[in-house]
Structures are given as C-alpha cells and as structure tokens.
Amino acid sequence: MPWHCDIDPVQQIVELTYTGDITKRELRESASECIALEENKGLIRFLVDTTEMLSVSSLMDVYDLPVNQYVEENADRLGRVALIPPKSSRVKEAVRFYETVCQNRGWMVQVFEERHAAVEWLTYRTVSDQGEADNDH
C-alpha cells in the first residue's frame, strides 16, 4: 500500500505518509482513515509526509477531498493538517493546490518545507485549545 498512518501518542499527531504513485481510491481511503481517527480517538492534528510521493491521480481528485469528501464524512474543522511537500515538482504543485483549496474552504492546512516547523505548528496551543484543556480538569 503506498500510504500508511502512524499515531504519535505523546504529541497526539497522526502521521500520514505517501510513497510512490497515489490513485484516487488511495487518496479517498487515506482521508477516510484519518477522519475515522478524528471521530474515534479525538485526534485532530495530522502531519502528511509527501516527500516520497511520485504522482497523484489528478488535481480534480485532490480538489474533491476538501470540497466534498471532508464535508460528507463530517471531518472536524478544528483539525490541522501540516504537509511536507514532495521532491517531485509536478506533485509539489498538487500539494500547493490542495493547500489553497483547503484554506479557501476554511480548513486549517499549511505546507512546510521542514518537518520540525510542521510539528511545531501542529502542537502549538491556541487560547481556545488551552480553554478546552482547562475545562477537562
């Protein structure tokens, strides 16, 4: 399978890694698995590593994720997605396109050149995050 998910239990981050050629079905399956982790485990921070992605099925398939699938599967709009771009310039354009479409639709998605910066952004606690943590006590 050209994608897999791992969970960092300490930082509460889901890491989705893509390698090779990614089909429409694989994009949809990986998104569904991440949305299920949101619903079942309350995980809303995602690190998507596309450094080894060689191709993606089409820009329309990329567009469909935030525009249709996320809405249909009730993805949490409080979630954050940090992307590490691929080496391939063609696929890098698709990742940037995804970032733009997501942001235009109100999803918190950002591309980072360095993994450290992506993790820092994902784990940054906002005032509202702190308020939720305070209410848990």
Q: What is the pTM of this model?
A: 0.89
**What does the alpha-carbon distance between residue 57 and residue 91 come to, in Å, rounded to a whole number?**
10
Measured in whole angstroms, the distance separating CA 36 from the mean position of its chain's CA atoms is 13
Q: How many CB atoms within 10 Å of residue 133?
A: 10
Write out pLDDT tens, residues 89-116: 889 999 999 999 999 999 999 999 999 9
